[in-house]
């Protein structure tokens, strides 16, 4: 994999920000992509769905937008998990943007992080890297606050993503007490605005969506996680409405060990959506 850190000026934020991008290579390093011999894996290989990395139906590799949590940044996923190795095995690009403690929202008193992630960033990535811009090759996933962001993107922009995954995500934002860890964050982002019925109300969006009109979803949460009740609500509502949700509640807490295992399973799930 090629690893690049982008430091750039974002027009929607009106300030400089960062993102980390992982791009697959045709040639494999020893010990990567299931090879253990020099020269193995050299030349052209295929990504998910048999797409040629040097051209073909998608004219670029599939891309996963991978979102960090409340206390993280654009480097957290690669520092705490083996995402580079996992993505290299799948031949998928990974884009990890910086959004600070924004909940992927255009803040009431702050910056427009929703506009940055939903609109400006994908356009920038498409102009800069050889990634597919086809919906069937575009995915989003995240953990905790990033899990909320991933499902927010999928539910508000269903025509933009082929699938979305949440690991230990904030599914019931309206029912979450943010004061303990977030201080004045809620006032900065929402300024007292009621979340119910807005683009940040995942349960409301799920309830209003017609089955088949949103992309397939993958939800993973630990049974010892403080966010598990909101995830249970989301699972139950998706079942009632007939949405395509793959879900599992398994032993585990809000930890990187849990998310390292979870993101590998997400990547195993995604290629079936890319064929």
Q: What is the pLDDT of residues 129-188, one digit of tens each?
A: 999 999 999 999 999 999 999 999 999 999 999 999 999 999 999 888 776 656 688 889
Q: Within 10 Å of residue 83's Cβ, how many Cβ atoms? A: 24
Collect all residues with Cβ–Cβ distance below 8 Å to 28 and sequence separation of at least 6.
35, 40, 41, 42, 88
User: What are 3-13's pLDDT values in tens digits?
Assistant: 999 999 999 99
Number of structural domains (the chain) is 1
> How many Cα atoms occupy the beta-carbon half-sphere of 249 within 13 Å?
14
User: What are 178-237's pLDDT values in tens digits?
Assistant: 766 566 888 899 998 889 999 999 999 999 999 999 999 999 999 999 999 999 999 999
The answer to whether residues 215 and 150 touch, using CB atoms and an 8 Å cutoff, is: no
pLDDT at residue 120, rounded to an integer: 98
| Domain ranges, residue 93 | 2-274
What is the CATH classification number for the domain harbouring 84?
Answer: 3.40.50.1820
Distance CA 61, CA 265 (A): 20
């Amino acid at each position: 994999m090629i690893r690049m850190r982008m430091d750039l000026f974002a027009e929607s934020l009106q300030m400089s920000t960062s993102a980390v991008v992982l791009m697959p290579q045709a040639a494999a390093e020893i010990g990567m992509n299931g090879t253990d011999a020099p020269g193995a894996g050299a030349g052209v290989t295929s990504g998910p769905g048999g797409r040629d990395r040097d051209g073909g139906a998608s004219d670029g590799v599939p891309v996963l937008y991978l979102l960090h949590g409340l206390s993280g940044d654009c480097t957290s996923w690669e520092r705490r998990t083996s995402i580079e190795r996992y993505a290299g095995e799948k031949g998928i690009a990974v884009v990890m943007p910086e959004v600070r403690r924004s909940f992927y929202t255009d803040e009431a008193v702050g910056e427009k992080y929703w506009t940055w992630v939903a609109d400006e960033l994908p356009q920038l990535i498409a102009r800069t890297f050889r990634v597919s811009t086809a919906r069937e090759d575009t995915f989003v996933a995240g953990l905790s606050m990033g899990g909320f962001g991933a499902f927010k993107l999928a539910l508000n922009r269903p025509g933009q993503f082929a699938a979305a995954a949440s690991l230990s995500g904030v599914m019931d934002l309206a029912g979450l007490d943010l004061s303990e860890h977030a201080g004045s964050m809620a006032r900065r982002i929402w300024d007292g605005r009621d979340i119910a019925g807005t683009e940040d109300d995942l349960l409301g969006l799920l309830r209003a969506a017609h089955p088949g009109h949103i992309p397939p979803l993958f939800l993973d949460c630990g049974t010892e996680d403080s966010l598990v009740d909101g995830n249970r609500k989301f699972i139950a509502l998706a079942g009632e409405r007939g949405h395509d949700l793959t879900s599992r509640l398994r032993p585990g807490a809000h930890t990187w060990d849990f998310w390292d295992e979870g993101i590998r399973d997400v990547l195993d799930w995604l290629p079936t959506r890319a064929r």
